[in-house]
Structure 1
Amino acid sequence: MSTVPGAAPRAAGDGAPLVGVLALQGGVDEHLAALADAGARTRAVRLPGELEGLDAIVIPGGESTVLRGLAGALGLLGPLRGAVEGGLPVLATCAGLVLCAGGPSGGPGVLDVDVRRNAFGPQLASFETRLDVEGVGADVEAVFIRAPVVVRVGPAGRVIATVDGRVVGVRQGAVTALSFHPELTADRRVHRAFVERVRR
């Protein structure tokens, strides 16, 4: 049995939530595997029709302008925004956070936050650390790759994680957005907490 917190898989039965992963760029397979370990049924989402029937969606990392361009070309941005505004829970990581913030990224704009892209430096400045994430736990493994930081959080938002005083995790309604990549570690607590919130 694994000694990594949150790593023990659970069987995804018929009552398990169906969680989509926006499958345009980034750690799609890694998110799908982490969600399955957390007890969810999963679906890769590339077309608007694949949003139907989802209980939640993950918007992974990558490059935010490329993600926006691909989602726009495939007709996903409008339906995705509508689904999230309708209450579909979201876990957004790294570029997914930028996309959810909208603004210059042209994304769905479902978070009232401002972000600064590549706030920790270029690819060579990537790093791993452990941090506390509200609603998830202490000492959560986190991988930062050209990561953004949140520089303003609107009144509806809540800061749930920081690194050296910089905001790297926020929650607003059913949207949880993180600057880092939880899918690139063996620590499944972020995905387990997300799946549990969806179940509730």
Structure 2
Amino acid sequence: MEEPCSPVQRFRGGTITLEDRMRMHRQKPVTIWLTGLSGAGKSTIAFELERQLVAQGHACYVLDGDNVRHGLGSDLGFDPRDRHENIRRVAHVAQLMNDAGLIVIAALISPMHADRAMARGIIGAGSFIETYVSASLATCAGRDPKGLYAKALAGEIPAFTGISAPYETPVNPELVIDTASLTLSDSVARIFSYLRQHSLAVAA
């Protein structure tokens, strides 16, 4: 695993370095990028992971797909071009937050390989932890916490991922979290185990 990198840092005119911020926060900043179908459990995992990280004294923040669309992506729709732009914006925000020394948890469907690869390139391969939150379409549709699958199946939502728009399963993610078989506690514990194993998001 490469050391966390910071492409934006070299364009900044300030004298405070990423290493300075790592020492201040006593952690190595990374972006944990949760991808998966709607209803797979991305946001639930993200906010519980954030809660536990903060309880341990870490500085972190969740970029949730639904929340960022209220502001950062409020002008975007859900066609492939707009999805690409939404992910590009979120990735740049995550990279800036990493450059500030923060741990970022991004929870977005991000259905396309190319868009996730773009996010990895923006954030930096050594700082990007692609985490596939795995749950079958039937499982997600059965949960349907927002009633979206029912609407999509009724034709009320066009281009809905998993129904009328594709989801490209990650080929070689850093982590796979199967929420059909793992509890929330076990899911978060698996992420913590990965972070500890790779000496990431821990005191520097």
What TM-score, normalized by structure 2, do the two folds share? 0.37
What TM-score, normalized by structure 1, do the two folds share? 0.37
Structure holding more helix per residue:
2
Q: Which has the larger radius of gyration?
A: 2
Structure holding more strand per residue:
1
Higher relative contact order (CA 8 A, sep 6+): 2
